[in-house]
């Protein structure tokens, strides 16, 4: 999923890497959250 347009939450966009892991999301207010994973695909860091 790359885009969600919800009447209550607004428009959100999502970006994925080559392994289809979520690497960033942007909410309706333009706030970006980035995610980083380790070599075992475990979430290592979330940056707001």
pLDDT on residue 31: 97
Domain boundaries of the chain, sorted by first residue: 3-47
Rounded CA separation 43/48 (Å): 14
| pLDDT number for residue 38 | 97
Give per-residue pLDDT as tens, 1-48: 799 998 998 999 999 999 999 999 999 999 999 999 999 999 999 999
Q: What is the residue-wise DSSP string for the chain? A: --EEEETTTEEEEEEE-TT--EEEEE-TT--EEEEEE-TTS-EEEEE-
- Supply the pTM of this predicted model: 0.80
Q: Quick one: 4 exposed, middle or buried, by C-beta within 10 A (0-12, 13-18, 19+)?
A: middle
């Amino acid at each position: 999923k790359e885009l969600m347009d919800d009447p209550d939450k607004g428009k959100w966009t999502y970006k994925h890497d080559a392994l289809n892991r979520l690497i960033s999301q942007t909410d309706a207010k333009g706030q970006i959250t980035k995610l980083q994973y380790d070599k075992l695909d475990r979430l290592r860091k979330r940056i707001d």
